[in-house]
């Protein structure tokens, strides 16, 4: 009996450890230091120039300075002569750009790279806090400063630098490549990316895959994971604000009649926050953690490798951390509450707005259903506010485009782990949903947690070394995904790269 028990125990330990071992292995993509010839000093000067155009998106479209976009178009034309000579160019809705690099094999589905030309404004009163003025494009020993260096003119410029360099080397893609640069991403992309997406759909184009800006290469993503993580967003959360309102009798506060509208709505809001939509540890989130497993300390690695045993405790643990909780479920946050005008008057009306970021497991209607059930008060009116967005579909992490994307990332950033993830905010990518099932959002920017405040904030900047990596990444991705013999083609366009980068 004891013998049988010990055998079983040994088998169990062996099995779970073996699974842990399997999860600990990293796929063996090696750094590939071949280098698409780009003069980094010149590229940095061109990026600095691009930063100087005030292509600022403002909520009020009348305040946007269209001339700045036109000046930027003219600058790009001078800066990238090969691109403008060999690629087709269309100007969409005055300020957005769509380039087409015709492939040699019309049987292959086209691919697309996108980023946006516009930037967010500098918050009035913070100009003085910048080490270098936000639209000067200052170049220091290590960095380029300015609005757009992280989000995301650096992306536009890096894509064009890589394209120009490949063209100069005579590179010809077999697959057609579109480059799309919208002009209003920061105010929802209604006239830029949305119009480009519509035009492509009208032309019957179906893309093999699309890469938009997105999440960066993050250092120290989770405590205990030593290597930086390249987060590739394969889905985007949806967005919904609901207005909840209740109308009651009101009256004088000296003779209250039952619960006031404030209290009833307060009860409902409390119930909603206490009963969020369920967190699920499956699908995308599971793939994220599986991809990160190899860099985790042993106990966590053991747990993730043996989810059949640890799923529930892990889910509970992850929901105690706000950032991972947001990845596991639709979040609920009350953002506005309005009621009452006078201290001795019971108000008739109480109103609140609750904002939801919808997980791809849920939907707008599903959330409304959940809210109705949880508040369980027919007197409370529920209305959806304008501007809601369904969550995106989840792009595959098993297909060729994802594998080639991961491969390209690891060739340029060899020390990173690549992990699929969920984007909490929205990008232009959603405007292309009709033309591709394989939509990925990743930006080859290295960011420490503290750098993330610079995006849309003060002292936005990019390291010159990282800009070199960006250009190489886009170039590598184009070669890896647009020809059938990327290794040979790479040899033709690269130089042996043995010394310092640059
Ligand atoms: Zn952006």
Reported as a single tens digit per residue, the pLDDT across 96-120 is 999 999 999 999 999 999 999 999 9
pLDDT reading at 327 higher than 70: yes
User: How far apart are the CA of 116 and the centre of ligand 1, in A?
Assistant: 7
What is the rounded CA–CA span in Å between residue 164 and residue 166?
A: 6
Q: How far is the CA of 222 from the centre of ligand 1 (A)?
A: 24
Alpha-carbon distance of 289 to 321, in angstroms, equals 15
- Residues 215, 150: contact at Cβ < 8 Å? no
Distance in Å, CA 119 to ligand 1 centroid: 7
Q: Sign of the CA dihedral 417, 421, 424, 430?
A: positive
CA of 429 to the centre of ligand 1 (A): 11
- Residue 219 a catalytic site member: no
118 annotated active-site? yes
Report the DSSP beta bridge partners of residue 241: 355
Terminal CA-CA length for the chain: 68
Q: What is the pLDDT of residues 433-474, one digit of tens each?
A: 999 999 999 999 999 878 888 999 999 999 999 999 999 999
Which residue, 293, 101, 94, 274, is CA-closest to 195?
Answer: 94
Distance 309 CA to ligand 1 centre (A): 40
As annotated, the residues of the chain forming the CATH 3.30.70.360 domain(s) are: 236-384
DSSP for 198-265? Answer: HHHHHTT---SEEEEEEEEEETTSSTT--S-EEEEEEEE-EEEEEEEEEE---EETTS--SS-HHHHH
Contact 259, 339 (CB under 8 A): no
pLDDT at residue 215 is higher than 80: yes
Alpha-carbon gap, residue 351 to 349, rounded angstroms: 7
Q: Is the pLDDT of residue 502 over 50?
A: no
- In angstroms, the CA 432 to CA 440 distance is 11
Residues with CB under 5 A from ligand 1 (ion): 151-152
Tell me the residue length of the chain: 502
Query: Which residue among the candidates 118, 195, 362, 451 is catalytic per the annotation?
Result: 118
Q: Please state which of the four CATH numbers 3.40.640.10, 3.40.630.10, 2.102.10.10, 3.40.50.2300 is assigned to the domain occupying 40-234+392-493.
A: 3.40.630.10
Distance of CA 380 to the CA centre of its chain: 36
C-alpha pair distances (Å), 38 with each of 67, 325, 406: 30, 42, 23
Distance, in Å, from the CA atom of 375 to the CA atom of 269, rounded to the nearest integer, reads 8
The proportion of the chain whose per-residue pLDDT surpasses 90, expressed as a percent, equals 70
* Ligand 1 centroid, distance to 152 Cα (angstroms): 5
Q: Which residues pair with 91 in a beta bridge?
A: 97
> How far does the centroid of ligand 1 lie from the alpha carbon of residue 157, in Å?
14
Whole-angstrom Cα distance, residue 217 to residue 230? 4
**Range list for CATH 3.40.630.10 in the chain:** 40-234+392-493
- The CATH number of the structural domain formed by 236-384 is 3.30.70.360
Catalytic residue, from 164, 185, 195, 213: name it: 185
């Amino acid at each position: 009996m004891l013998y049988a028990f010990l055998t079983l125990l040994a088998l169990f330990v062996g099995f779970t450890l073996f699974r842990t071992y399997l999860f600990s292995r990293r796929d063996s993509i090696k750094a590939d230091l071949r280098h698409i010839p780009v003069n980094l000093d010149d590229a940095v000067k061109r990026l600095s120039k691009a930063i100087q155009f005030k292509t600022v998106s403002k909520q009020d479209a009348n305040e946007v300075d269209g001339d700045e976009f036109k000046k930027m178009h003219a600058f790009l034309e001078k800066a990238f002569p090969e691109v403008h000579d060999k690629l087709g160019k269309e100007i969409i809705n005055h300020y957005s750009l769509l380039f087409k690099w015709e492939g040699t094999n019309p049987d292959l589905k086209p691919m697309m790279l996108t980023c946006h030309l516009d930037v967010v404004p500098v918050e009035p009163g913070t100009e003085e806090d910048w080490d270098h003025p936000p639209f000067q494009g200052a170049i220091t020993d290590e960095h380029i400063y300015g609005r757009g260096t992280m989000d995301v003119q650096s992306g536009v410029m890096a894509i064009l630098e890589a394209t120009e360099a490949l063209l100069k080397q005579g590179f010809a893609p077999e697959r057609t490549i579109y480059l799309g640069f919208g002009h209003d991403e920061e105010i929802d992309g209604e006239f830029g990316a949305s119009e480009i997406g519509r035009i492509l759909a009208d032309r019957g184009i179906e893309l093999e895959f699309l890469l938009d800006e997105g999440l960066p290469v993050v250092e120290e993503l989770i405590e205990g994971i030593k290597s930086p993580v390249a987060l590739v967003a394969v889905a985007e959360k949806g967005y919904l604000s609901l207005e909840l309102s209740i109308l009651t009798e009101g009256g004088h506060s000296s003779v209250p009649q039952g619960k006031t509208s404030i209290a009833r709505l307060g009860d409902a809001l409390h119930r909603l926050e206490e009963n969020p939509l369920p967190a699920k540890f499956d699908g995308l989130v599971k793939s994220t953690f599986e991809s990160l497993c190899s860099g985790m300390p042993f106990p966590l690695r053991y747990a993730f490798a043996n989810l059949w045993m640890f799923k529930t405790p892990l889910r509970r643990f992850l929901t105690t951390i706000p950032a991972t909780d947001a990845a596991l479920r639709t979040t609920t946050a009350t953002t506005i509450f309005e009621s009452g005008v006078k201290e001795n008057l019971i108000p008739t009306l109480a109103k609140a707005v609750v904002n939801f970021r919808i997980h791809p497991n849920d939907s707008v209607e599903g959330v409304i259903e959940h809210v109705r059930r949880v508040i369980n008060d027919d007197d409370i009116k529920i209305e959806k506010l304008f501007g809601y967005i369904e969550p995106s579909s989840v792009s595959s992490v098993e297909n060729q485009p994802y594998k080639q994307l991961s491969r390209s990332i690891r060739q340029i950033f060899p020390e990173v782990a690549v992990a699929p993830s969920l984007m909490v905010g929205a990008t232009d990518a959603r405007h292309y949903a009709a033309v591709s099932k394989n939509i990925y959002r990743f930006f080859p920017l290295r960011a420490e947690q503290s750098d993330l405040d610079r995006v849309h904030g003060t002292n936005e900047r990019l390291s010159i070394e990282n800009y070199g990596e960006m250009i190489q990444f886009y170039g590598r991705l184009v070669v890896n995904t647009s020809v059938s013999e990327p290794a040979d083609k790479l040899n033709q366009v690269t130089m042996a790269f043995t010394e310092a980068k640059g």
